[in-house]
Amino acid sequence: MSTIVRKLISTANAAKPVAPYNQAVVADRTVYVSGCLGLDKATMQLVPGGATEQTEMALKNLQAVLKAADSDIDKVVKNTVFVKDLNDFAAVNEVYKRVFSKDFPARSCVQVAKLPMDALVEIECIALTGTVYTVPNE
């Protein structure tokens, strides 16, 4: 059998994990990014404001982790967005579409009973590394 590398990703450019997990794990050419909250990396506190501000910060943390894993937003294939209140769906989407502005990845968005640190939003993703070509559906 061939060997597949499992690389643990950690960066100071994003908020640290709030429990025993890595910011991301790369297996072969696939990046699995753990859920990112709207935490300020310096204070490890949720940013002030509501779902809009927490989504902005969660996506900044997500981008920093992707960069540390040698990936980027345009290499994301699947996002999962967890919200405390589905009434924030429109606000989250307004921020989301500024970051994911074209060739959108697959995505799920679900309301959950509670998120860590009583956050309003958490975003995780699966992405690729290396050269990636996007082919539009015809």
Residues taking part in catalysis: 109
- CA distances (Å), origin 31, targets 15, 48, 87, 99, 123: 18, 29, 30, 18, 14
Q: Residue 120 — left, alpha, or beta (φ > 0 → left; ψ -120 to 50 → alpha)?
A: alpha
Place of tokens 């994003």: 14
Tokens at residue 125, please?
């993703």
